[in-house]
Amino acid sequence: MGLVMKIGGPPKIRGTRSVTPTTKTGVTTSGVATGVNPIEDTVSIMGIPSAEMTPKVHNAIMTLMAEVDTLRQDLALAHRRIEELERLVDLDPLVPVSNRRAFVREVSRAVSFAERYGTKSTLIFFDVNNMKTINDSFGHAAGDKALMHVAEQLSDGVRDLDVVGRLGGDEFGVLLAQIGEQSAQQKALDLINRVEKNPIVFDGVEINVYLAHGGYSFGPGQDPAEALAEADRKMYENKKARKAEQ
């Protein structure tokens, strides 16, 4: 019996599917996008997509945002103004140094610092010896110029962390932060030298300004008022002693 072979169509392959070739960007060679979600470019205002807003809502939100920005600017301006007013409140009305209230506050801070770290600071009190003579001989305008001279020389002769204040009349105070009595005494003499070796000129006349001083070093546990009173007392003692020598 002869062998019979049955020939049919091409063999079937299971588990395969036709794949359309694509480029690296996910677009078929025929130009059709495949399986890639398009990037949607959306804009939102305060978290609300702009597409969901009516023109009226959009305008209202933009107006509100502009008002908020204006309020922020006004607040920043107010803060700067408050800082300027606080600075002016602390200044002496005649000369560019701290007034008594601000100076006493800084002494209190120095006491607190001493209590925390155990370091001493020193108060130096200065008094213009010949203020009455200047006022009587040249007038109060000359006296004011003398006070300005003292304030400027004291301020220029100390560090940024030190404080200079006018305590009233012709009296000034210098707070030498974290400086002991011996170094403070030398600093006081240096400051006096700055004032006395540079006379003021008023109506073409040179006028010398002379100072008396007293110093007091304080540490932890010191009452600020007592420290001020002690420096003042020593200043008057030195002033009397200087007059007696003359």
188-243 pLDDT per residue, tens: 999 999 999 999 999 999 999 999 999 999 988 888 899 999 999 999 898 887 77
Query: Whole-prediction pTM value?
Result: 0.67
d(CA 68, CA 74): 10
pLDDT band at 65 (very low <50, low <70, confident <90, very high): confident
DSSP 31: S
Torsion-angle region of 15 (φ positive above 0: left; ψ -120 to 50: alpha; else: beta): left
DSSP 125-139: EEEETTHHHHHHHH-
Q: Looking at residue 6, what is its pLDDT? A: 40
| Residues ≥6 apart with Cβ < 8 Å to 38 | none
Token pair for residue 98? Answer: 């701290």
**Torsion angle (degrees, nearest 10) of CA 64, 69, 73, 76:** 100
d(CA 102, CA 99): 6
Name the residue with higher pLDDT: 79 or 123.
Answer: 123
Terminal Cα distance for the chain, rounded: 159
Q: Looking at residue 96, what is its pLDDT? A: 93
d(CA 97, CA 155): 8
Percent of all residues in the chain with a pLDDT value above 90, rounded to a whole number: 55
Q: Looking at residue 39, what is its pLDDT? A: 47
Name the residue with higher pLDDT: 81 or 134.
Answer: 134
- Cα–Cα distances (Å) from 93 to 9, 57, 99, 130, 240, in that order, read 113, 54, 8, 22, 29
Token pair for residue 59? Answer: 């305008």
What residues are paired with 241 via a beta bridge? Answer: none
Q: Looking at residue 85, what is its pLDDT? A: 59
One-letter amino acid for residue 80 of the chain: R
Q: State which H helix or E strand residue 211 sits in.
A: strand 211-218
Domain boundaries, the chain: 47-90, 100-245
Report residue 120 CA to chain centroid gap: 25
Q: Looking at residue 3, what is its pLDDT? A: 38
- Cα–Cα distances (Å) from 70 to 44, 79, 126, 227, in that order, read 22, 14, 49, 49
Q: Give start and end residues of each alpha helix (H) in the chain.
A: 55-90, 100-117, 131-138, 140-156, 181-196, 224-245
Q: Looking at residue 74, what is its pLDDT? A: 83
Model confidence pLDDT, tens digit, residues 159-195: 999 999 999 999 999 999 999 989 999 999 999 999 9
Model confidence pLDDT, tens digit, residues 5-21: 344 444 443 443 444 44
**Which CATH code is given to the segment(s) 100-245?**
3.30.70.270
d(CA 154, CA 237): 21
d(CA 168, CA 132): 15
Instruction: Please compute the mean of the pLDDT values over residues 100-109 and round it to a whole number.
Output: 94
